[in-house]
Structure 1
Amino acid sequence: MKTLIHLKIEKLHEAGQDYYLATSEDVQGLVAEGQTIEEVIEIASDLAKILLELHQQNEQPPALPNTFQYPLILEV
């Protein structure tokens, strides 16, 4: 099964070093950190798979974010 997950990736600077932080409103609890963009995406991907599997094992669908966008098409 394919699942679309939106990652928010931020470049941060601390103690003289840059690093990247990835979070997602699509998967509760997803927070990943890496030295490069590629690394943080790989870590976030692995973590998202684990978190989604845990949700499935508990027979609960992944939690929806508190806010989200929904495309509404009207005929006027």
Structure 2
Amino acid sequence: MKRQEHLTEVEEAAIRIRVETLKNGRYLATSPDVPGLVAEGRSISETVEIAQGVARKIVESCREHGDPLPLVFRNKRRGNREFRIPVAVS
């Protein structure tokens, strides 16, 4: 029987994502923290928003199937965090 991992202790986790510009001008996000996360959008902010949704779906799928959660969702993090956010300048 598989051991079930739940998000009872961690309600929110910060994941790393990598965003690259595609040749067609769109953006593609992947995550070294969440295997299988791939998101594409028209802007960086849209791509990040889609990536957040995909990460939530991956967590839901793991929970539904009894699969272990990616490590980033199992570690409890407290304290201050620093983020870089995209800001349009034109």
TM over 0.5: yes
* Larger RCO, structures 1/2 (Cα 8 Å, 6+ apart): 2
Identity %, equivalent residues: 41
Q: Match for residue 47 of structure 1?
A: 54
- More displaced stretch, 37-46 vs 52-61: 52-61
Which blocks of at least 5 consecutive residues in structure 1 are unaligned? 65-76
- TM-score, normalized by length of structure 1? 0.71
Alpha-carbon RMSD:
1.4
Q: Match for residue 15 of structure 2?
A: 5
Moved over 3 A (4+): none
Q: 1:30 aligns with which of 22, 31, 37?
A: 37
- TM-score, normalized by length of structure 2? 0.61
Q: Which has the larger radius of gyration?
A: 1
Is 1:19 aligned to residue 14 of structure 2? Answer: no
Which blocks of at least 5 consecutive residues in structure 2 are unaligned? 1-10, 72-90
